Amino acid sequence: MANVAVNKFVEICNYLQDPIHVARFQNFCGVKGTFPEKRTQPDSGQPDPDAPGLRQRVQQSADEDVGNGDISLAQVNENQEEDTTRPNGPKAAETVRAPLRRNSLTGDMGQEFLIQNKFLFYLFTFGTELGNEMFFIVFFPFLFWNIDALVSRRLIVVWAWNLFVGQSTKDMIRWSRPASPPVVKVEVFYNSEYSMPSTHAMTGTAIPFCLFMLTYGRWEYTFLFGLSVALSWSLLVCVSRVYMGMHSVLEVITGFLYSLLVLAFFQPTLDKIDNYYMTGHYAPLAIVLSHVSLGLVAFSLDSWSTSRGDTAQALGTGAGAALASHVNYQLGLLQDPPLSSLPLTLPPITTGLVLRSVLRFVIGVAVLLATRMAMKAVTIPFLCRLFGLPPDDVRRARQQMKVELPYRYIVYSVVGFVCVCFVPVLFWILNLA
């Protein structure tokens, strides 16, 4: 009986992992590939042969049937041929697009494709951006400066640990991205990473659900509203990763469930972690040692990839924000609302309130981006000189662990510290606090 259940579970997993389901969903959403009939080279996941230490990919042949599905490459091309030749087909109304952003590891620009439904393209592009670096650079500071600093601090802890667990799991399981063809790579930025689980699905689940758990009862709103926002946010991010051709259905489902497991583990301890970061006598030492050691563990799991940089970036940001929280508390700059004032309510939306919030956001983000730019301009050349690497090829230099790890930690720990400590002081000086 147990063997039957295990075999059935494996069968279901194999079915959900089949890339043909991704291709069918993309076709349903109006994404049309421009695949040749025959391909002798693997898809764009292959690394630059001149780049040292990069992982190799083994993709499925483009000529063979894919997975357990019943649609071969020839059938996919035939279906797309019919779609593009119909009077109302995409060629009649749409232009050829290149994938979103080139691959940061290989420099690959990907293959062109056709977009038949612009609304879904922009919707899922927005959804996938909810898991990218620029969103978190905007979201966490806005929450910290304008709404609730306590919630923002604890969300950063969950985000950093969630990414570490997810990216490390990827490099232990080592599954490749869905085969292309039949999948259309609408995005190729992360194509060189491993695929299981989807860390976009993990962060896209952990952040909204943790935000819901931290704010429900602390702020006045209905349970149904908070749950609906969290579910919609998570669903949009998860589905967008299938639309982009970056993950199979199984990988997205696994990322969603895995994130809930990680969140269930950390949620009860967030209050203790936050209090220790602020009040612990040895908290600065513990923060630095824990975040750096986790980064060293992650970087030793496999050769360099964008996942390694993302992990170090999240851990660096978490370390910087935690250190800033400790400094703020010790200097009396931290002003969380007292428990007696809960639940909090949104103040009346006035012109003055909106203008001050916009000014705080614009000035603060400008400071963060300037800090990031300045630190990047200083750190990478310094590390290249320190380790005897040519400074004129930044991409190759950053493929070295000895450059990428300290670069990410130094730059983003400073950004995190500036966000939580320096920028609020600047607001106070400018009478915007």
Copy the structure tokens of residue 113.
């494709």
**Roughly what angle, to the nearest 10 degrees, separates helices 19-28 and 223-243?**
110
Q: Which residues are catalytic?
A: 200, 247
* Residue 248 DSSP code: -
Q: Are 238 and 205 in contact (CB under 8 A)?
A: yes
Q: Are 67 and 17 in contact (CB under 8 A)?
A: yes
Q: Are 65 and 83 in contact (CB under 8 A)?
A: no
Scanning the structure block, which residue is given the tokens 């649609």? Answer: 71
Query: Could you tell me which residues come within 8 angstroms of residue 204 by beta carbon, excluding any fewer than 6 positions away?
Result: 127, 130, 131, 233, 234, 236, 237, 238
Q: Are 215 and 151 in contact (CB under 8 A)?
A: yes
Total residues belonging to the chain: 433
DSSP letter string over 299-358? HTSSSB-HHHHHHHHHHHHHHHHHHHHHHHHHTT---PPPGGGPSB-PPP--HHHHHHHH
- CA-based nearest residue to 355, from 242, 431, 295, 277: 431
Specify the 3-state DSSP secondary structure of 60: coil
Query: Could you tell me which residues come within 8 angstroms of residue 13 by beta carbon, excluding any fewer than 6 positions away?
Result: 250
- CA-based nearest residue to 363, from 190, 142, 139, 179: 142
Q: Are 23 and 48 in contact (CB under 8 A)?
A: no
Ramachandran angles phi, psi of 187, nearest 5°: -130, 140
